[in-house]
Amino acid sequence: MSLISDLHHINIRTSDLTATKAFFMDTLGLTEGWRPQTLSGRPGAWLYAGDRPIVHLSTADEPTAESRGAALDHVAFSIGDYETVLARVEGCGLPFETFGTETSPRRQIIVRDPSGAMVELHWRNPSPAAA
Protein backbone atom coordinates (compact mmCIF):
# COMPACT_ATOMS: atom_id res chain seq x y z
CA MET A 1 0.00 0.00 0.00
CA SER A 2 1.34 3.40 -0.98
CA LEU A 3 1.70 5.99 1.76
CA ILE A 4 1.35 8.79 -0.83
CA SER A 5 -2.19 9.61 -1.92
CA ASP A 6 -1.72 12.58 -4.25
CA LEU A 7 0.72 15.17 -5.54
CA HIS A 8 0.24 18.27 -3.40
CA HIS A 9 2.25 20.87 -5.34
CA ILE A 10 5.41 21.58 -7.26
CA ASN A 11 7.78 24.48 -6.68
CA ILE A 12 9.49 26.18 -9.59
CA ARG A 13 12.38 28.55 -9.01
CA THR A 14 12.47 31.36 -11.54
CA SER A 15 14.55 34.43 -12.26
CA ASP A 16 11.57 35.92 -14.15
CA LEU A 17 8.60 35.70 -11.82
CA THR A 18 6.41 37.92 -14.04
CA ALA A 19 6.84 35.81 -17.21
CA THR A 20 6.58 32.47 -15.41
CA LYS A 21 3.47 33.54 -13.52
CA ALA A 22 1.91 34.83 -16.76
CA PHE A 23 2.58 31.50 -18.51
CA PHE A 24 0.80 29.47 -15.85
CA MET A 25 -2.05 31.95 -15.45
CA ASP A 26 -2.65 33.21 -19.00
CA THR A 27 -1.83 30.02 -20.89
CA LEU A 28 -2.89 27.31 -18.45
CA GLY A 29 -5.63 29.11 -16.54
CA LEU A 30 -4.27 28.87 -13.01
CA THR A 31 -5.19 31.68 -10.63
CA GLU A 32 -3.04 33.42 -8.06
CA GLY A 33 -4.16 32.97 -4.48
CA TRP A 34 -3.17 33.11 -0.86
CA ARG A 35 0.50 32.56 -0.07
CA PRO A 36 1.95 32.70 3.43
CA GLN A 37 4.62 35.19 4.34
CA THR A 38 7.96 33.46 3.96
CA LEU A 39 10.75 33.70 6.47
CA SER A 40 13.06 35.08 3.81
CA GLY A 41 10.53 37.61 2.56
CA ARG A 42 11.31 36.61 -1.05
CA PRO A 43 8.78 37.34 -3.78
CA GLY A 44 6.86 34.42 -5.21
CA ALA A 45 3.36 33.19 -5.95
CA TRP A 46 1.05 30.29 -5.27
CA LEU A 47 -1.01 29.38 -8.31
CA TYR A 48 -4.24 27.50 -7.88
CA ALA A 49 -6.25 24.99 -9.89
CA GLY A 50 -9.65 25.49 -8.27
CA ASP A 51 -8.99 25.49 -4.53
CA ARG A 52 -5.64 23.66 -4.75
CA PRO A 53 -2.34 25.61 -4.80
CA ILE A 54 -0.58 23.21 -7.18
CA VAL A 55 2.21 25.43 -8.54
CA HIS A 56 4.41 27.42 -6.17
CA LEU A 57 6.78 29.93 -7.74
CA SER A 58 9.81 31.23 -5.89
CA THR A 59 12.34 33.73 -7.11
CA ALA A 60 15.94 32.89 -7.89
CA ASP A 61 18.65 35.53 -7.92
CA GLU A 62 20.53 33.85 -10.76
CA PRO A 63 19.24 32.46 -14.08
CA THR A 64 17.73 29.03 -13.61
CA ALA A 65 18.83 25.92 -15.48
CA GLU A 66 16.45 23.94 -17.66
CA SER A 67 14.86 20.90 -16.05
CA ARG A 68 15.68 18.52 -18.92
CA GLY A 69 18.59 16.38 -17.80
CA ALA A 70 18.18 17.37 -14.16
CA ALA A 71 17.20 14.86 -11.51
CA LEU A 72 13.60 16.09 -11.76
CA ASP A 73 13.04 16.22 -15.52
CA HIS A 74 9.45 17.45 -15.85
CA VAL A 75 6.04 17.84 -14.28
CA ALA A 76 2.84 16.55 -15.90
CA PHE A 77 -0.66 17.94 -15.48
CA SER A 78 -3.89 16.31 -16.61
CA ILE A 79 -5.99 18.46 -18.92
CA GLY A 80 -9.64 18.12 -19.84
CA ASP A 81 -9.85 19.96 -23.18
CA TYR A 82 -6.94 19.17 -25.48
CA GLU A 83 -7.88 21.55 -28.32
CA THR A 84 -8.38 24.55 -26.04
CA VAL A 85 -5.10 23.97 -24.22
CA LEU A 86 -3.25 23.41 -27.52
CA ALA A 87 -4.57 26.71 -28.90
CA ARG A 88 -3.47 28.55 -25.77
CA VAL A 89 0.00 26.98 -25.87
CA GLU A 90 0.30 27.84 -29.58
CA GLY A 91 -0.53 31.46 -28.71
CA CYS A 92 1.94 31.81 -25.83
CA GLY A 93 5.02 32.09 -28.06
CA LEU A 94 7.01 29.30 -26.40
CA PRO A 95 8.29 26.31 -28.37
CA PHE A 96 6.35 23.09 -27.78
CA GLU A 97 5.91 19.55 -29.08
CA THR A 98 2.85 17.33 -29.34
CA PHE A 99 2.59 13.56 -29.16
CA GLY A 100 -0.34 11.36 -30.17
CA THR A 101 -3.14 11.70 -32.70
CA GLU A 102 -6.88 12.36 -32.54
CA THR A 103 -7.49 8.62 -32.17
CA SER A 104 -4.72 7.97 -29.63
CA PRO A 105 -5.74 6.92 -26.12
CA ARG A 106 -3.51 9.71 -24.77
CA ARG A 107 -2.08 12.92 -26.18
CA GLN A 108 0.61 15.17 -24.74
CA ILE A 109 1.72 18.73 -25.22
CA ILE A 110 5.26 19.36 -23.98
CA VAL A 111 6.25 23.00 -23.35
CA ARG A 112 9.06 24.60 -21.39
CA ASP A 113 7.94 27.46 -19.15
CA PRO A 114 9.90 30.77 -19.14
CA SER A 115 12.09 29.52 -16.27
CA GLY A 116 13.10 26.37 -18.18
CA ALA A 117 10.86 23.88 -16.37
CA MET A 118 9.48 21.23 -18.71
CA VAL A 119 5.70 20.92 -18.44
CA GLU A 120 3.74 18.01 -19.89
CA LEU A 121 0.04 18.58 -20.48
CA HIS A 122 -1.54 15.16 -20.57
CA TRP A 123 -4.95 14.46 -22.10
CA ARG A 124 -6.69 11.13 -21.87
CA ASN A 125 -9.06 10.34 -24.74
CA PRO A 126 -12.43 9.24 -23.33
CA SER A 127 -13.20 7.28 -26.51
CA PRO A 128 -10.04 6.18 -28.36
CA ALA A 129 -10.44 4.42 -31.70
CA ALA A 130 -10.52 0.66 -31.51
CA ALA A 131 -7.26 -0.96 -32.52
Number of domains in the chain: 1
Based on its alpha-carbon atoms, the radius of gyration of the chain, rounded to whole angstroms, reads 16
Does any domain span residue 107?
Answer: yes
Range of the domain at 109: 10-124
pLDDT value, residue 71: 86
Does any domain span residue 131?
Answer: no
pLDDT value, residue 130: 54
Are the C-beta atoms of residues 110 and 118 closer than 8 Å to each other?
yes
User: Cα dist. 122→2, 19, 35, 55, 88 in Å?
Assistant: 23, 23, 27, 16, 14
State pTM to two decimals: 0.88
pLDDT value, residue 129: 66
pLDDT value, residue 108: 97
- SS3 percent helix, strand, coil of the chain, rounded to 5, is 15, 35, 50
Tell me the pLDDT of the chain (131 aa) as tens digits: 888 898 899 999 999 999 999 999 999 999 999 998 765 678 999 999 999 999 999 998 888 888 888 888 999 999 999 999 999 999 999 999 999 988 889 999 999 999 999 999 999 988 766 54
Does any domain span residue 2?
Answer: no
CATH of the domain at 35: 3.10.180.10
pLDDT value, residue 39: 54
pLDDT value, residue 1: 82
Does any domain span residue 101?
Answer: yes
